[in-house]
Structure 1
Amino acid sequence: MSLADKVLAVNNDLPIRTERPVHSGKVRSVYWLTEADSRRLIQQKGYDVAPDAPLAIMVISDRISAFDCIWHGEGGLKGVPGKGAALNAISNHWFQLFKDNGLADSHILDIPHPFVWIVQKAKPVMIEAICRQYITGSMWRSYSKGERSFCGIQLPDGLTKDQKLDDVLITPSTKGVLKGIPNVAEVDDVNISRQDIETNFSAFNFSQASDIAQYERLLKEGFGVISEALAANDQVFVDTKFEFGYVHDASGQEKLIYMDEVGTPDSSRIWDGEQYRQGNIVEKSKEGFRQWLLNNFPDPDILLNKDRMDEREALARDNALPSEVLMSISQTYVGIAEKIIGQPLDISENPKAEIIDVLRNEYQLID
Structure 2
Amino acid sequence: MSASSVLTVSDDLPLVTARPVHSGKVRSVYFLRPEDSRRLIEERGYAVAPHSDLAIMVISDRLSAFDCLWRSHNYHGVPAKGAALNAIAAHWFSTFDAQGLTPHHLLEMPHPMVWIVRQARPVMIEAIARRYITGSLWRAYARGERLVGGVRLSDGLEQFQRLPELLFTPSTKGVIRNVPGVPETDDAPLAPAVLREHHKAFALHDEGQLDACVSALHSGFEVIEDSLAARGDLLVDTKFEFGIAPSRSGGEELIYMDEVGTPDSSRIWRRDDWEAGHPREHSKEQFRDALLSWVDDRELLLDSRRMEERAIYARNHAVPDEFFLDLSNTYVAQAENILGASLPVIDRPRDAMLDLLNEQFGLVR
Q: TM-score, normalised by structure 2?
A: 0.97
User: Partner letter of residue 14 of structure 2?
Assistant: P
In 2, the alpha carbon distance for the partners of 1:210 and 1:51 equals 25
SS of 1:237's equivalent in the other structure is: strand
Q: 1:199-348 alignment to 2 at 5 Å?
A: 199-348=197-346
- 1:21 match: 20
Equivalent-residue separation in structure 2 for 1:211 and 1:36 (angstroms): 30
Give, in whole Å, the separation in 2 of the partners of 1:301 and 1:211.
38
Structure 1 counterpart SS, 2:9: coil
Q: Deviations over 1:229-249 (max 9, x none)?
A: 000110010000011111113
Whether the 8 Å CA contact 1:94–1:263 is kept in 2: the answer is yes
CA contact (8 A) 1:151 1:191 kept: no
Give 3-state SS (helix, strand or coil) of 1:264's partner: coil
Superposed displacement of residue 46, structure 1: 2.0
- Fraction of identical pairs, as percent: 50
CA-CA distance at 1:125 after TM superposition: 1.2
**CA displacement 1:173-228 (0-9 Å, x = unmatched):** 11111123222222221111222222222222222222222221111111100000
Matched-pair contact (CA < 8 Å) for 1:47–1:109: yes
CA distance in structure 2 between the aligned counterparts of 1:215 and 1:309, rounded to whole angstroms = 30
**Code of the aligned partner of 1:263:** G
Which amino acid is the alignment partner of residue 266 of structure 2? S
Taking the aligned partners of 2:248 and 2:85, their CA distance within structure 1 comes to 29
**Partner-residue secondary structure (3-state), 1:229:** helix
Aligned-pair CA distance for 1:79: 0.5
Amino acid of the structure 1 residue aligned with 2:139? R
Which residue of 1 is the match for residue 8 of structure 2?
9
CA distance in 1, matches of 2:310, 2:79: 24
Deviation at 1:310, TM superposition (A): 2.3
- Answer whether contact 1:85 1:347 (CA < 8 A) is retained: no
- Read off the aligned partner of 1:234 and give its amino acid letter: G
Distance 2:314 2:341 in 1: 34
Residue 35 of structure 1 aligns with which residue? 34
Task: Tell me the TM-score normalised to structure 1 length.
Answer: 0.96
* Aligned alpha-carbon RMSD (Å): 1.3
CA distance in 2, matches of 1:211, 1:305: 34
Measured in 1, the distance between the counterparts of 2:213 and 2:188 equals 19
Structure 2 runs not aligned, ≥5 long: none
Partner SS, residue 301 of structure 2: helix
Secondary structure of the 1:320 match is: coil
